Amino acid sequence: MTADPLLKAYDDQLRTDAEVARAADLRREGPVLWAVFDHGGFVSYRDLGGLEGAALDDLIERTVAHYRDDTEVASFEWKSRGHDLPADLGERLVAHGLVPEPVETVMIGEAALLAVAVPLADAPDGPVVVRRIGEGDDVVHDLTRMLAAQESVFGGGRGPSVDSSLAELRSGGSEFWIAEVGDRVVCGGRLTPVAGTEFAGIWGGSTLPEFRGRGIYRALVAARAGSAMERGVRLIHSDCTDMSRPILERSGLRAVTTTTPYVWTRPPS
């Protein structure tokens, strides 16, 4: 597949409904969906239906007012993509008080390209063990440690809670994978198959700084890709930082667009 068919599959299969399937509250406003999750709000859309200028400003203003006045969320994210129109969308979001976060690259490719054996050398503190949460030790303890490790890497305080992650795991909506050295989680990530599509997403891959460069992230990706193939998934997608993108590119995934989250945060009362 070339990048264009992959991008079309991404837009057609993974935007709007797929992004908000687990929302606690969901409303449609013109071309966008206003979703509320336990960790905040989220704005999704397939495209903006040709809105631009004053009409787009009005939609952004209504969106801010909705989350500010009709919800109790501390923040919401407007997830833009690099190929979205109009080209000045980002400028208009900033003008309405949203703050851009770092640009990430949307990567897509065949799961089979990632599901390969990755040799792991022992860390100074002992062997590295990659496993799926739910296969042994206390699940809540594992999720708590994994989410804490991810927050220490990503920060922001907008990640999912332990309770919502536990519910997602028990419902079968996602698999949660960790790499451990001793009793320490050094890398963690999620595999989320998208019902009704060819895709599964790999999310949250985050290795503690002192354990990078050992193949741990690649091993966690490979384990999740192998599990995805067992579920009949063909394509893997991920939003990548500059750190993880080269690893996935070497495995055969391709950049199809970029994504920039624009975040509104509730002012202190």
Quick: pLDDT tens for 100-124.
Answer: 999 999 999 999 999 999 988 777 7
Instruction: Give the range of the structural domain holding residue 237, as residue numbers without chain letter.
Output: 109-257
77 and 126 assigned to the same domain: no
Residue 43 located in a structural domain: yes
Q: How many domains are contained in the chain?
A: 2
**What CATH number has the domain bearing residue 92?**
3.40.630
User: Phi first, then psi: what are they for 32, rounded to 5°?
Assistant: -110, 160
Residue 3 located in a structural domain: no
124 and 187 assigned to the same domain: yes
Residue 117 located in a structural domain: yes
97 and 113 assigned to the same domain: no
* b/e code 211-228 from CB counts within 10 Å (16+ = b): beebbbbbbbbbbbbbbb
121 and 242 assigned to the same domain: yes
pTM for this structure?
0.85
Query: Is the backbone of residue 136 left (phi > 0), alpha (psi -120 to 50) or beta?
Result: left
Give the pLDDT confidence of 58-87 residue by residue, as tens digits: 999 999 999 999 999 999 999 999 999 999
In this prediction, what percent of the chain has a pLDDT beyond 70? 96
Residue 249 located in a structural domain: yes
150 and 62 assigned to the same domain: no
**What CATH number has the domain bearing residue 206?**
3.40.630.30
134 and 85 assigned to the same domain: no
Give the pLDDT confidence of 167-203 residue by residue, as tens digits: 888 888 899 999 999 889 999 999 999 988 999 999 8
Residue 229 located in a structural domain: yes
The structure tokens 């400028």 sit at: 91
Residue 6 located in a structural domain: no
For 227, residues 6+ apart whose C-beta sits below 8 A from its C-beta are 132, 175, 191
- Report the C-alpha gap between 138 and 133 in whole angstroms: 9
